[in-house]
Amino acid sequence: MDLFEIDQTQRLRREEAAAKLRELADALARHNSVQFERNGHRITVDVPDEVELKVEVELGEENELEIELTW
């Protein structure tokens, strides 16, 4: 299968970022899949009942909060 990758950065207000995270969290809670779009193509990612959750925080000149799900 070809690699499907989305690497997108956008500047949002904190509340808008929270809304996007909430939308993703709601999709994960309700379904066993989430959908993404790239260049007019939609892909559905099946997510199993158990995943590994990694939270990484970096504080310095530039601060970063990274949330990663793997399975």
Q: Average model confidence (pLDDT) for the chain?
A: 91
- Neighbouring-strand partners of residue 36: 43
| Contact present, 23 and 35 (Cβ < 8 Å) | no
Of 33-42, 45-54, 61-70, which range is least confident?
33-42
Q: Does pTM top 0.75 for this prediction?
A: yes
pLDDT category, 6, cuts 50, 70, 90? confident
d(CA 7, CA 44): 16
Q: Residue 39 and residue 4: Cα distance in Å, rounded? A: 12
